[in-house]
Every structure is written in C-alpha cells, then in structure tokens.
Structure 1
C-alpha cells in the first residue's frame, strides 16, 4: 500500500490535472517510439527493395 499512498501524496501535492498530463505524455511517448521503429524498418525495407531493382 506504500505505492498507493505515494501516488495519493503526489496527486495532492501537484494536482490532478498535472498527474493526468504526465500519465498521458508517458503513454504517448511509448507510442511515438513504436512509430519511429516502424518507420525506420519501413525505410530500410524500401531501401533494400530499391537496391534490388524492385521499385
């Protein structure tokens, strides 16, 4: 229960909207990193296909 108490203290100290914003930013960061990886993989696949003459 110590984790829950720390969370409640954190919310009461800085405010609910800030906690929600931080949570959403954290989730969004993970999704952006996933998109970056996917784009890099796609770019390398396209580069490989282009070098093989499969345009």
Structure 2
C-alpha cells in the first residue's frame, strides 16, 4: 500500500503489466526461433 501511495496507481499497474508481459515475450521469441529453424530444415529436405 505504501508503494501505491508513493508512486500512484497507474505506475504500479504499468510496472505489473510490463513484468508479466516480459515472460510471455520471451516465450514467443523462442517459439518464433524454433519455427524458423523448422522451416529452414524443411526447406533443406525438399531441395
């Protein structure tokens, strides 16, 4: 509660959302990299 009083509600909500989104972006990035690798391997098989 002290943190909310000092920083304000919008700042706390923004920090919370950024922390939660960061992990999801890391997972998305690794999934995209894996997909790219699979596409590259698939293209090499078919040539």
Per the shorter chain, which TM-score range? 0.7 to 0.9
Structure 2 residue runs without a partner (length 5+)? none
* Pair 1:21 & 2:1 matched: no
Count how many residue pairs are aligned between Structure 1 and Structure 2: 47
TM-score by length of 1: 0.75
Structure 1 residue runs without a partner (length 5+)? 1-7
**Residue 20 of structure 1: CA displacement?**
0.5
Q: What CA RMSD, in Å, does the superposition of the two structures yield over aligned residues?
A: 1.3
What residue number does 1:32 align with? Answer: 25
- Structure with the larger RCO, 1 or 2 (CA within 8 Å, 6+ apart): 2
TM-score by length of 2: 0.86
